[in-house]
Structure 1
Amino acid sequence: MKALTLSLALTAGLLLQAPAQADTLLVERVQAEASQSMPARGQTMAQVEAKFGAPQQKHAPVAGPGDRAHNPPITRWDYAGYSVYFEHSHVVDAVAIKATPTEAGPKPVQ
């Protein structure tokens, strides 16, 4: 009985000394993204540029192999804090840029 008590005490002592580790939720960034004014799905490139100004960088369109109907060109425009993705000339998504290079989001679905 004395050995069990000593063993539990040692284990508890080691646990108290170890720094706590946990996954960091990206709640703050997700909330900030929801409140940030970004282009809406379906807007044209001209509408985005008229409302949000010229992007910091425009990337060349990238298309998948083969048939253009199934692999349309995707263009990315980078603004301060977010990127906008276009299929042909219409917005398909606007995404907040990572807060830090080491920020990790959810694991991809396998």
Structure 2
Amino acid sequence: MKNKRNLITAVALTSLMSAGLATNLHAEQLKIPVGSQADRSQASLPTTGMTQTSVRNRWGAPQDIHGPVGEPPISQWHYSDFIVYFEHDRVLHTVVKRNR
């Protein structure tokens, strides 16, 4: 799939260049620093597949809850050091908050 996409891009670019429409093409490299996060291996975090009940029993009530929104329903539970994303009532992903 990636090779097909690269071929299509190359053909489109070649077509534009031959038509004189892409003579001033250039690319910029953006450097974005990675945020400082805690070492995930040292942190106690909810893991994928845990239920909302087990997260609440282990880490207590969240400071804030957003959602659910969309289909499937996705909600966020905000704790002081991390955010837990749920699909229905199961942990989808946990994100460590950036150190300030």
TM-score interval (norm. to shorter) = 0.5 to 0.7
The question of whether the paired residues in 1 share the 8 Å contact of 2:37 and 2:97 is answered with no
Gaps of 5+ in 2: 1-30
Greater fraction strand: 2
Greater Rg by CA: 1
Could you say what the CA RMSD is over the residues aligned between the two structures, in angstroms? 2.0
- SS at structure 1 position matched to 2:49: coil
Report what 2:84 is aligned to. 84
Which deviations, in whole Å up to 9, do the C-alpha atoms of 1:10-62 show, x marking residues without a partner?
A: xxxxxxxxxxxx86455x5252x331101011010001000110011111201
Greater fraction helix: 1
- SS at structure 1 position matched to 2:56: helix
Aligned residues: 70
Identity of aligned residues (%): 34
Which deviations, in whole Å up to 9, do the C-alpha atoms of 1:46-97 show, x marking residues without a partner?
A: 010001100111112010xxxxxxx300000000110000000000100011
The alpha-carbon distance between structure 1 residues 93 and 23, as it changes in their structure 2 partners (threshold 3 A), is closer
1:98 matched to 2:80? The reply is no
The alpha-carbon distance between structure 1 residues 36 and 23, as it changes in their structure 2 partners (threshold 3 A), is same
- SS at structure 1 position matched to 2:46: coil
Gaps of 5+ in 1: 1-21, 64-70, 101-110
- Match among 41, 61, 68 for residue 54 of structure 1: 61
Whole-Å separation in 2 of the counterparts to 1:23 and 1:62: 30
Whole-Å separation in 2 of the counterparts to 1:25 and 1:57: 25
- SS at structure 2 position matched to 1:85: strand
Whole-Å separation in 2 of the counterparts to 1:95 and 1:25: 14
Whole-Å separation in 1 of the counterparts to 2:77 and 2:84: 5
Whole-Å separation in 1 of the counterparts to 2:90 and 2:76: 11
The alignment's TM-score, normalised by the length of structure 1, stands at: 0.56
